[in-house]
């Protein structure tokens, strides 16, 4: 019996040490395929959400701007939607006050988008101290995130 337990432990230990290999075109382990359970809501016209003075005075050039991750629970339940985020950019290119302006559905994607935009970095601004109320929209569709 002891030899059987020892052999089983060796086999399990050996299996745990094997590297995992991700093949192109396959979903990440544990997620499975994305199965949409609702349709993508009609996105808004983002240009209409901006006022005449919003995000004006300098050109934005992103040096670091990663997309948000698709939230695990939204993936699991096949949720799709979009989020509009407003934020300020200071003279050094850092982002401040990233906040959800509008989201449909409200909730499942909010935290991921605020977190991603808060980490963005832009090249230093020319001639202004701050750009206020810059706007970006993310679409969470079919298990992927796109910026619009």
Across all residues in the chain, what is the average pLDDT?
A: 84
First and final C-alpha spacing in the chain? 63
Of 58, 73, 82, 78, whose CA–CA distance to 147 is shortest? 82
CA distances from 61 to 34, 58, 104 (A): 33, 10, 28
Are the CB atoms for 90 and 58 separated by under 8 Å?
A: no
Q: What is the pLDDT of residue 120?
A: 98
Residue 15, CA atoms < 13 Å, CB-side half-sphere: 6
pLDDT tens track for 83-125: 999 999 999 999 999 999 999 999 999 999 999 999 999 999 9
Neighbours of 71 (CB within 10 A): 19
CA dihedral 57→58→60→61, nearest 10 degrees, is 180
pTM of the model: 0.77
């Amino acid at each position: 019996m002891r030899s059987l337990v020892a052999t089983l432990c060796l086999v399990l230990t050996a299996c745990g040490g094997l590297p995992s290999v991700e093949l192109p075109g396959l979903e990440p382990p544990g997620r499975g395929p994305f199965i949409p359970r609702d349709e993508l809501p009609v996105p808004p016209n983002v240009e209409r959400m901006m006022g005449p003075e919003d995000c004006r005075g300098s050109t934005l050039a992103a040096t670091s701007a990663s997309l948000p991750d698709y939230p695990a629970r939204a993936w699991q339940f096949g949720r799709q939607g979009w989020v509009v985020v407003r934020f300020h950019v200071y003279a050094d290119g850092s982002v401040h006050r990233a906040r959800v302006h509008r989201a449909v559905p409200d909730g499942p994607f909010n935290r991921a988008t605020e977190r991603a935009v808060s980490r963005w970095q832009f090249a230093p601004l020319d001639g202004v101290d701050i750009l206020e109320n810059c706007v970006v929209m993310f679409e969470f569709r079919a298990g992927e995130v796109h910026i619009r």
